Amino acid sequence: MKKCVYILILNWNGWGDTIECLESVFRLDYPDFRVIVCDNASSDGSLEKIRAWAEGRLDAYVPPDHPMHDLSFPPVAKPLDYAIYDRSMAESGCTGSAGPAITLIRTGANLGFAGGNNVGLRYALARDDFDYIWLLNNDTVVMPDALSQMVQRMTERPDAGICGSLMPYYDAPDVIWTTGGGTFNRWLAKTHSIDNRQPLAAASPREVVEQRMKYVVGASMLVSRAFLRNIGLMCEDYFLYFEEPDWSFRSRKKYALAYADRSVVYHKVGISTSRHDKGPDRSAESYFFRSQILFTAKFFPLALPLVVLRVMVNRLKSTCRRMICRRRQRVTAQEVSRCGSC
C-alpha cells in the first residue's frame, strides 16, 4: 500500500468543481500521492482560482445541508505546496527534485479529454517515479479510502491494467451511476453503464461486474505504469467520448479490467461535458456522434454502415427536437410580449 500514485485531474472552465474535488482528494487516507491538475486553456480564470485555493485564499462552497458537504468541509490545512508549468516544461518531467503536492499545468489549448490528460500522463512518465496514475474527473468527490481500495484491488489483480470505482450520483448518493464501467453493443456503438440508476444497496457483486465490464469509465480510472508503458497514451482522435473504451479495447489481449467495489466516488454526471454546449465549438452531442463512428471504424468496421445509419437518424431527431424547442421559445416570448403590452 506504499506505492506512489499520481492523481490526474483535467479542468476546463470548472474551477468550482475542481476545488471541491481537490478538497476531498486531500482527505484521502492513502499515504503517498501527488496531484496533477491540467487546465485546458480555461477562459474563466480557473488556474488563478485553483492557485488561490492552494494558497488558502479561496474555499470550496457546498451547501451545509448537501449530503456531500462533509467530504470537502471544513477546508484542509493550507497553504499547499504547488508548482505551475506550461506544457513543454511539464512534458519534460521537470526532473531533479521531488514533485510538489500539486502540479498545475497549462496545456495551452482546449485539447479535449484525451489530449488534456495526455499532457499530465507525459509529465508523470517523464518523471517515472510512480506506480499508478488515477485519472479522476474534476466533477467528482471521493470517499477517504477510495484510492486505497483501488490500489488494493490492483494488487489483488496483477493481470489488470485499469481499475474502476463504485460511482453513485453526487445529488442522489443512494443511486448508482455506474459500477466501475460499462458494456458495449458493437452493432449500435452503444455504451451502457453497469447498474445505472439501480439502488446503491442493489449493486452487482464485484466478480459479476468484472465479467461484464468492457471498459472502465473515464471519471475514475486507476492505471498502472506497466499499462501505460505497454499500451500507450489515450487516443487523441476523440475530442470527447469513447476515449476510455478505446483504451480498454486496445489492451484487451494483454490486460484485464478490475473493479474496486469499496472505492466510492460520487459523480456530478454531465457537468463537464455540458460546458461544450455553451462554447464556440461543436456541441457535446456532435462530438458523441463523431466518436461513435471513429470508434466503430477502428474496432468493428463490419458494423460501420449500421452505426452510420443510426447516427444519421439520431442527428435528424436531435435537429428536429432543437427546432421544436426554439419554436416553442419564440411562441412563449411572443405571448409574454403581448401580455406585457396589455
Cell of 69: 458537504
Position 280 scores a pLDDT of 44
The pLDDT of residue 277 is above 60? no
pLDDT tens, position by position, 104-150: 999 999 999 999 999 999 999 999 999 999 999 999 999 999 999 99
In this structure, the dihedral spanned by the alpha carbons of residues 12, 194, 248 and 300, taken in order and rounded to 10 degrees, is -110
Residues in a beta bridge with 267: 140, 169
CATH tag, 5-282: 3.90.550.60
Reduced to 3 states (helix: H, G, I; strand: E, B; else coil), residue 220 is strand
Distances (CA, A) of 13 to 40, 106, 110, 121: 8, 13, 10, 21
Position 318 scores a pLDDT of 82
How far apart (Å, rounded) are the C-alpha atoms in residues 164 and 116? 20
Mean pLDDT of the chain: 92
How far apart (Å, rounded) are the C-alpha atoms in residues 56 and 72? 14
Range name among 49-63, 124-138, 244-258, 319-333 with the lowest pLDDT average: 319-333
Q: How many C-beta atoms lie closer than 10 Å to residue 201's C-beta?
A: 7
Report the predicted TM-score, pTM, of the whole model to 2 decimal places.
0.91
pLDDT tens, position by position, 80-111: 999 999 999 999 987 666 779 999 999 999 99
Mean pLDDT of all residues in 151-168: 98
Where exactly are the structural domains of the chain?
5-282, 300-341
Per DSSP, 188 falls in state T
Position 51 scores a pLDDT of 97
